[in-house]
Amino acid sequence: MTDVFGDLVGQDEAVETLRRAAEAGAAVLSGGSGGGMTHAWIFTGPPGSGRSVAARAFAAALQCAYGTGCGDCHGCHTTLSGTHADVRLVVPEGLSIGVGEMRALVLRAASTPSGGRWQVLVIEDADRLTEAAGNALLKAIEEPPPRTVFLLCTPSTHPDDISVTIRSRCRVVPLGQPSAEAVATVLASRDGVAADVAEWAAAAAQGHVGRAKRLARDPEARKRREAVLAVPRRLTGVGACFDAASALIEAAEAEAEAAVAESDAAERSALETALGAGGTGRGAAGAIRGAAGQLKDLERRQKSRATRAQRDALDRALVDLAGFYRDVLAVKMGAPVAPVHTDTAPLASAAAERWTAESTLRRLEAILACRDAIEANVKPRIAVESMMLALWRG
């Protein structure tokens, strides 16, 4: 049998909690007390820890015909494939989740489950809820329908990520960063990656399972990483700093464009077909002209998704760069820890001989400050240029 929690790497305690809750949920449906099951959950953890994986797996376990998350029944299969009629998955494509979208989702989640088990609303990146959207969700959580379960994914329970009032009404499932060893084992056993490549990718991805898989299998992802790790060598002056910033921004834009291009084209083609594109009957041309508003709305949503993809790609690059300076600091301090980037270890050792521990720490802090600035909606180019100058000065 296939376990729905099989892709949740290094989270044994969380898996046990969710298994017991799913069993309690099955007991509720059978008329039992269902202790351990509640209507609202928050999954927290660093990027790559498996927040959305855990939420989807738990949703599948709740819809499982056997109440265990067997992975083989119709409920498990359709939930994991995204086709279950009673499971709504919210994956924000833009920078935020608006109140209109949330009200529509809450209204749909309040309906009676068509399959007789649960209505489940999974919100990935719930930290992107606008204040109004959060209030709409809060009202639903405060007065939940009897068969509705809300599953929210956020980096933490800090008020910057999720409101205190929503947090107080949810059960929290904390996820830790899986070890490189656990990630490497999964890559080798599940995805057939060679052991040495799996170990390298797991270390380079810093516990992020999805990124480790991309690095192990995608040559373009490895090239982008190599370009990022070449940045410290390029910072030889003010002009070089601005050049490096431009290169980093352009690489993130190219990666994002490649990631969304196919889906954008497919969405536009599907909408145009639905609106009568290519039709030759009476009124076909007029129908297309009247659909301009819908096409414009699609373009707006796609632009928002592209912006989010660019931010995410740039953030991954900054995490890689931070890993290099962390390695330099570890060498400088003689810390008994393995390097994040084994392939740039000689460069990190050479830098440790030239830089003081204080200047290395300032460089690392400059990268973290850049990430915070971008998250606060500072223009990425301005934030990255400022960071590059700080890295050069030390």
- CATH number, residue 168: 3.40.50.300
Same domain assignment for residues 262 and 323? yes
| Six-digit token string for 91 | 């994956």
CA–CA separation, 285 vs 308, rounded Å? 34
In this structure, are residues 148 and 121 in contact, taking their beta carbons and an 8 Å threshold? yes
Task: Give the chain's radius of gyration (CA, Å).
Answer: 24
Same domain assignment for residues 167 and 261? no
Same domain assignment for residues 330 and 315? yes
Same domain assignment for residues 122 and 207? no
Q: List the chain pLDDT tens, one digit each, 394 residues.
A: 468 898 888 888 999 999 999 999 988 888 776 677 899 999 998 887 889 999 999 999 999 988 888 888 999 999 998 899 999 988 876 677 888 889 988 888 888 888 778 999 999 989 889 899 999 999 999 988 888 999 999 988 988 889 999 999 999 999 988 888 888 888 888 888 888 898 888 888 877 888 888 888 888 888 888 888 899 999 999 999 999 999 899 888 887 777 666 666 766 676 666 666 555 555 555 555 556 666 777 677 767 777 777 888 898 889 889 999 999 999 999 999 888 888 899 999 999 999 999 999 999 999 999 999 998 889 999 999 999 999 999 8
pLDDT of residue 278: 52
User: Containing H/E element for 19?
Assistant: helix 12-29
| Six-digit token string for 300 | 């707006």
Q: How many CB atoms lie within 10 A of CB 282?
A: 7
pLDDT of residue 1: 44
Residue from 25, 99, 107 nearest 69 by CA: 25
**CA distances, 291 to each of 273, 282, 300 (Å):** 11, 16, 14
In this structure, are residues 76 and 84 in contact, taking their beta carbons and an 8 Å threshold? no
Same domain assignment for residues 84 and 65? yes
Domain count, the chain: 3
3-state helix, strand, coil in the chain (%, to 5): 65, 5, 30
Q: Spell out the residues 6+ positions from residue 304 whose beta carbon is closer than 8 angstroms to its own.
A: 93, 94, 95
222 is a domain residue: no
Question: Which residue type occupies 52?
Answer: S
314 is a domain residue: yes
Same domain assignment for residues 206 and 255? no
Helix, strand or coil, per DSSP, at residue 22:
helix
In this structure, are residues 279 and 268 in contact, taking their beta carbons and an 8 Å threshold? no
DSSP bridge pairs for 171 = 41
Helix, strand or coil, per DSSP, at residue 12:
helix
Pairing, β 148-154 against β 119-123: parallel
Domain residues for the domain of 185 are 180-217
DSSP 226-279: HHHHTHHHH-SSHHHHHHHHHHHHHHHHHHHHHHHHHHHHHHHHHHHHHTTTT-
370 is a domain residue: yes
| The total number of residues written for the chain in this structure | 394
pLDDT of residue 276: 61
265 is a domain residue: yes
**CA distances, 29 to each of 119, 145, 245 (Å):** 13, 14, 56
Same domain assignment for residues 267 and 326? yes
321 is a domain residue: yes
In this structure, are residues 235 and 392 in contact, taking their beta carbons and an 8 Å threshold? yes
pLDDT of residue 253: 83
φ and ψ at 130, to 5 degrees? -70, 165
Same domain assignment for residues 364 and 311? yes
CA–CA separation, 218 vs 220, rounded Å? 5
pLDDT of residue 282: 55
pLDDT of residue 283: 52
280 is a domain residue: no
125 is a domain residue: yes
Same domain assignment for residues 192 and 255? no
pLDDT of residue 356: 94
Same domain assignment for residues 142 and 185? no
27 is a domain residue: yes
* pTM of the predicted model as reported, rounded to 2 decimal places: 0.75
Residue from 201, 204, 260, 207 nearest 228 by CA: 204
Same domain assignment for residues 198 and 268? no
Same domain assignment for residues 115 and 213? no
